[in-house]
Amino acid sequence: MEKLIITAAICGAEVLKEHNEYVPYTIEEIQREALGAYQAGASIIHLHVREDDGTPTQDINRFREAIKAIKEVCPDVIIQPSTGGAVGMTNDERLQPTELHPEMCTLDCGSVNFGGDEVFINTENDIIYFADKIYARKILPELECFGKMHVDQVLRLYKKGLIKDHMHFSFVLGVNGGQTGEVRDFLFLKDSIPSHATYSVAGIGRYEFSLAELAIIDGGHVRVGLEDNIYLEKGVLAKGNKDLVAKVVKLAEKHGRSVASPSEARHILGLKELQI
Among ligand KMH, Zn ion, none, the one that 33 touches (CB under a kind-dependent 5 to 8 A) is none
Q: Whole-number minimum distance, CB 40 to ligand KMH, in Å?
A: 21
Residue 106 interacts with ligand KMH (CB under 6 A): yes or no: yes
User: Residue 97 or 220: which CB sits closer to ligand KMH?
Assistant: 97
Q: Which residues of 227-266 are buried (b: 16+ CB within 10 A; e: fewer)?
A: bbbbbbeeeeebebbbbbbbbbbebbeeeebebbebebbb
User: Residue 35 or 204: which CB sits closer to Zn ion?
Assistant: 204
Q: Whole-number minimum distance, CB 228 to Zn ion, in Å?
A: 8
Residue 108 interacts with ligand KMH (CB under 6 A): yes or no: yes
Among ligand KMH, Zn ion, none, the one that 120 touches (CB under a kind-dependent 5 to 8 A) is ligand KMH
Residue 217 interacts with ligand KMH (CB under 6 A): yes or no: no
User: Residue 83 or 198: which CB sits closer to ligand KMH?
Assistant: 83
Q: Whole-number minimum distance, CB 123 to ligand KMH, in Å?
A: 15
Among Zn ion, ligand KMH, none, the one that 57 touches (CB under a kind-dependent 5 to 8 A) is none
Residue 125: beta bridge partners? none
**Beta strands 56-57 and 49-50, pairing class:** antiparallel
Which residues would be at the binding site for Zn ion (CB under 5 A)? 82
User: Residue 130 or 251: which CB sits closer to ligand KMH?
Assistant: 130
Q: Which of residues 126-165 bind ligand KMH (CB under 6 A)?
A: 144
Q: Whole-number minimum distance, CB 140 to ligand KMH, in Å?
A: 14
Residue 11 interacts with ligand KMH (CB under 6 A): yes or no: no
Decide: helix, strand or coil at residue 222: strand
Q: What is the dihedral sign for C-alpha 46, 49, 157, 188?
A: positive
Q: What is the dihedral sign for C-alpha 180, 181, 186, 187?
A: negative
The amino acid occupying position 91 is: N
The DSSP result for 92-137, as a single string, is: HHHHGGGGG--SEEEEE-S-EE-STT-EE---HHHHHHHHHHHHHT
Closest-approach residue to ligand KMH (CB): 84
User: Residue 143 or 193: which CB sits closer to ligand KMH?
Assistant: 143
Residue 87 interacts with ligand KMH (CB under 6 A): yes or no: yes
Residue 212 has phi, psi (to 5 degrees) of: -60, -45
Nearest-angstrom CA–CA distance, 39 and 29: 15
The amino acid occupying position 51 is: E
How many residues sit close enough to ligand KMH to count as binding (CB under 6 A)?
Answer: 11
Decide: helix, strand or coil at residue 254: helix
Q: Whole-number minimum distance, CB 169 to ligand KMH, in Å?
A: 13
Binding site for ligand KMH (CB under 6 A): 13-14, 82-84, 86-87, 106, 108, 120, 144
